[in-house]
């Protein structure tokens, strides 16, 4: 099976994968204006939607022509050896997808994806995973991108935070998304569906098929980014949630983690068969979570009690990413030692309360098993 991490690792080795935000935006918008400082500003601060749409379409057309042309790997020192065992056509396809994802993100107002040293950080890898997930049609990725955009807009961040996307609510959903993407890439590469997304024909991408697949993927990401563009407008103001009342507020990261792990403990106990494997997984979860020692002690106490913990899940309805991440975590526990009926009832009930369809939960269960 081809994992998304292996695809990402391979493409990250290809020269030219990193897009400098300011240089790219100055070049892309050179025909529409000059002497613009993009270091702390975004295109929507200077240009209307028609100009931004034209630039985005031009960039998509240009990148689509590149991916359907001669392989970018052909002229790289070291050739195919640079990407190890990754099939060259897959690496090239996603190289162009990742380059385009960065460019479209910048056009529609996302902050710098490179860190202070000009590198792609772990947080950036997670953002790119979400972007490519949107391109591949994962609804979970759409929700994740919206939630991440809201958080960044609130903080008026000029760069993607190094750690913000590797902890708490973000990590489980992004990890699950990466697993789903690996399954899709594998299916398209070796099954009967080969050629639908990643056409493998004699080791070289088929230009015609790639043209017909890469452009729709690009437009899917463009549409989603365009929907969220005004979250980032005007860097000195927060986005449109100013009208919300003080009583409506999302869970803090610590509150989310406490409820998530308590729910996982509940679902492991609920079938009266609390296995050693489940306990080990939960102990590891508690040990590695970003909580203080007092909170971890509370969770350990919950773990060793026979009784279940009463949990109020209503606050999860304020955040799709937290709700989905909670279900993903529960799914990972359910799949450890089978799918007992009490676990099934508990899982589906929570999902229903969070407005997550049963079919979505079933898909999560299958994806977690690698099916």
Beta bridge partners of 112: 159
Q: What angle do CA 210, 93, 49 make, to 5 degrees?
A: 80
User: Which residue, 170, 122, 128, is CA-closest to 290?
Assistant: 170
Q: Is the pTM of this model over 0.75?
A: no
Spatial CB neighbours of 274, under 8 Å, sequence gap ≥ 6: 268
Choose among 85, 101, 103, 105: nearest CA to 93. 101
Q: How far apart are CA 130 and CA 181, in angstroms?
A: 10
In the block, tokens 């991108």 appear at: 145
CA distance 324 to 366: 15
Crossing angle, helix 276-288 and helix 293-304, to 10 degrees?
Answer: 170
In whole angstroms, what is the distance from residue 146 CA to residue 298 CA? 32
Asked if 125 contacts 83 with a C-beta cutoff of 8 angstroms, the reply is no
Query: What does the pLDDT profile of the chain (371 residues) look like in tens digits?
Result: 788 888 888 888 888 889 999 899 989 988 766 567 787 778 887 788 888 999 999 999 999 888 776 555 544 555 555 555 566 677 788 889 999 999 999 999 888 888 767 677 777 888 899 999 999 998 888 888 887 777 776 666 666 665 555 555 666 778 888 888 988 887 766 543 334 444 443 334 445 545 667 889 999 999 999 888 876 654 443 333 333 333 436 778 888 899 999 999 988 887 667 888 889 999 999 999 989 999 999 999 999 888 788 888 878 877 888 888 899 999 988 888 765 566 777 788 888 888 888 888 888 888 877 76
Cα–Cα separations (whole angstroms), residue 179 to 93, 94, 98, 137: 19, 16, 18, 14
3-state SS class at 341:
helix
Cα 267 from Cα 241, distance rounded (Å): 34
Which pLDDT does position 99 carry in this prediction?
94
DSSP-derived 3-state class of residue 354: coil
**For residue 282, what are its two tokens?**
């939960």
DSSP state of 252: P
């Amino acid at each position: 099976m081809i994992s998304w991490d292996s695809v990402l690792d391979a493409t990250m080795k290809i020269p030219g994968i990193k897009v400098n935000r300011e240089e790219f935006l100055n070049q892309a918008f050179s025909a529409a204006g000059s002497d613009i400082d993009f270091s702390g500003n975004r295109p929507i601060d200077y240009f209307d939607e028609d100009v931004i749409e034209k630039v985005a379409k031009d960039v998509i057309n240009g990148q689509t022509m590149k991916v359907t042309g001669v392989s970018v790997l052909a002229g790289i020192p070291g050739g195919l050896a640079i990407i190890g065992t990754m099939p060259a056509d897959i690496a090239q396809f996603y190289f162009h997808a990742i380059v385009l994802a960065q460019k479209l993100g910048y056009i529609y107002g996302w902050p710098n994806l490179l860190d202070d040293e000009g590198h792609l950080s772990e947080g950036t890898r997670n953002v790119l995973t979400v972007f490519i997930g949107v391109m591949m049609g994962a609804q979970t990725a759409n929700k994740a991108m919206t939630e991440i955009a809201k958080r960044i807009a609130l903080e008026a961040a000029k760069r993607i935070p190094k750690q913000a996307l590797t902890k708490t609510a973000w990590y489980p959903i992004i990890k699950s998304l990466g697993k789903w993407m690996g399954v899709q890439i594998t299916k398209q590469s070796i099954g009967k569906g080969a050629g639908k997304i990643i056409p493998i024909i004699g080791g070289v991408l088929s230009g015609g098929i790639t043209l017909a697949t890469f452009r729709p993927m690009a437009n899917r990401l463009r549409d989603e980014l365009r929907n969220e563009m005004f979250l980032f407008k005007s860097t000195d103001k927060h986005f449109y949630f100013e009208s919300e009342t003080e009583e409506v507020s999302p869970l803090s990261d610590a509150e989310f983690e406490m409820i998530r792990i308590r729910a996982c403990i509940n679902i492991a106990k609920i079938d009266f068969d609390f296995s050693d494997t489940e306990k080990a997984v939960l102990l590891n979860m508690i040990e590695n979570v970003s909580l203080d020692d007092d909170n971890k002690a509370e969770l350990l106490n919950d773990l060793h009690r026979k009784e279940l913990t009463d949990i109020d899940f209503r606050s999860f309805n304020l955040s799709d990413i937290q709700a989905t991440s909670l279900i993903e975590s529960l799914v990972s526990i359910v799949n450890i030692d089978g799918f007992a009926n009490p676990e099934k009832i508990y899982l589906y009930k929570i999902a229903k309360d969070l407005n997550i369809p049963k079919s979505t939960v079933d898909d999560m269960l299958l994806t977690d098993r690698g099916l």
